[in-house]
């Protein structure tokens, strides 16, 4: 461990590397240098300075612990208790802090987690996607919301989600977010949904001809599944391989019908 080189941080403002490549600038001084020491209640940390943008920063910049007036272990403990299902009031009593502080820390952790997921989930190559919604309970019927989610079945990856009512807008946002996190030019993907009226339009607008859409409906009478119905929607292509317009699709369906035999007079 002692022989390993010490890693110097990158500048969060201009993303300048600490040491330039020797091929481009041999013998050049590092772009990020040590500036001073920052004394806090939890200890002393090093402050760095970027020679390009002339700004200073610490190693906790752009992390949930930036300007946090407590130890990182305490922050992690609060987040872990919340993930285990502990209420905010119980966490506040156990840690000796107020409930508003717990809410503020959880919002900070959620925002950084969302930012990390948006940056990490890129260039995904899915095989099969399943889109569904889960209804949440509320004090009244008007306060019930749905959690829309798209999951990659082979890796059990939660690709995208959306919280709200069962509207056309939420369906479009859900499928559009899933499409943005997948690689362009990937093989055609299979998307399975329930026969909700807005899924078919959302899949067509977000994925166009790069997906095969299957609507699967089940009739369940406890404790047995009585009937399963599946409907497949394939993208329509012309002879040249381009997508056909609605007018050309109607003409093709009309020409493919067998001729009707008229009775002899």
Question: Does residue 96 lie within any of the structural domains?
Answer: yes
Structure tokens at 214: 């299957």
Domains in the chain: how many in total? 3
Q: How confident is the model at residue 20 (pLDDT cuts 50, 70, 90)?
A: very low
**Structural element, H or E, at residue 79:** helix 72-83
Other CB atoms within a 10 A radius of the CB of residue 195 amount to 12
Q: Which two tokens stand for residue 69?
A: 């007036």
Answer whether residue 145 is part of any domain: yes
Beta sheet of 43-50, edge-to-edge order: 32-40, 43-50, 56-58
For 182, residues 6+ apart whose C-beta sits below 8 A from its C-beta are 123, 124, 125, 126, 159, 189
- Kindly report the CATH number assigned to the domain that includes residue 72: 1.10.10
Question: Which of 140, 143, 78, 149 minimizes the C-alpha distance to 109?
Answer: 78
What is the pLDDT averaged over residues 238-245?
A: 49
Question: Per mean pLDDT, which of 35-44, 193-202, 235-244 is the most reliable?
Answer: 193-202
Residues 147 and 223 in one domain: yes
Spatial separation of the C-alpha atoms in residues 254 and 242, rounded to whole Å: 20
Q: pLDDT of 186-216, one tens digit each?
A: 788 899 998 888 998 899 888 888 888 888 8
The reported pLDDT for the residue numbered 7 is 57
Residues of the domain holding 97:
63-120
Give the mean model confidence (pLDDT) for residues 159-182.
Answer: 90
101 and 30 belong to one structural domain: no
Judgement on whether residues 134 and 237 belong to the same structural domain of the protein: yes
Q: Specify if 242 maps to a domain.
A: yes
pLDDT tens figures, 105-164: 999 999 888 888 877 788 888 889 999 988 887 677 667 788 999 999 888 888 888 888
Digit-coded pLDDT (tens) for 66-96? 878 888 889 999 999 998 989 999 999 999 9
In this structure, the answer to whether residues 54 and 85 fall within a common structural domain is: no
Q: Both 88 and 176 in a single domain?
A: no
Q: Are residue 148 and residue 181 in the same domain, yes or no?
A: yes
Q: What is the rounded distance in angstroms from the CA atom of residue 229 to the CA atom of residue 215?
A: 8
């Amino acid at each position: 461990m002692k022989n390993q080189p010490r890693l110097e941080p990158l500048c969060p403002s201009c993303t300048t590397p600490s040491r330039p490549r020797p091929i481009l600038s041999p013998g050049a001084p590092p772009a990020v240098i040590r500036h001073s020491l920052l004394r806090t209640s939890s200890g002393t940390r090093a402050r760095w300075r970027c020679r390009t943008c002339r700004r200073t920063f610490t190693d906790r910049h752009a992390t949930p612990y930036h300007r946090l007036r407590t130890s990182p272990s305490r922050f992690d403990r609060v987040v872990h208790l919340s993930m285990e299902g502990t209420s905010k009031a119980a966490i506040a009593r156990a840690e000796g802090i107020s409930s508003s502080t717990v809410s503020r820390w959880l919002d900070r952790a959620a925002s950084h987690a969302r930012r990390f997921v948006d940056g990490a989930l890129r260039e995904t190559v899915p095989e099969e996607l399943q889109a569904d919604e889960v209804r949440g309970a509320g004090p009244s019927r008007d306060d019930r919301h749905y959690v829309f989610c798209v999951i990659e079945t082979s890796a059990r990856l939660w690709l995208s989600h959306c919280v709200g009512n069962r509207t056309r807008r939420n369906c479009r946002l859900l499928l559009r977010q899933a499409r943005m996190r997948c690689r362009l030019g990937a093989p055609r993907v299979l998307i399975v949904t329930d026969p909700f009226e807005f899924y078919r339009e959302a899949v067509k607008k977000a994925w166009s001809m790069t997906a095969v859409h299957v609507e699967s409906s089940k009739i369940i009478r406890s404790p047995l599944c009585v009937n399963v119905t599946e409907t497949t929607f394939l993208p329509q292509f012309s002879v040249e391989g381009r997508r056909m317009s609605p007018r050309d699709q109607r003409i093709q369906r009309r020409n493919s019908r067998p001729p009707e035999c008229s009775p002899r007079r």
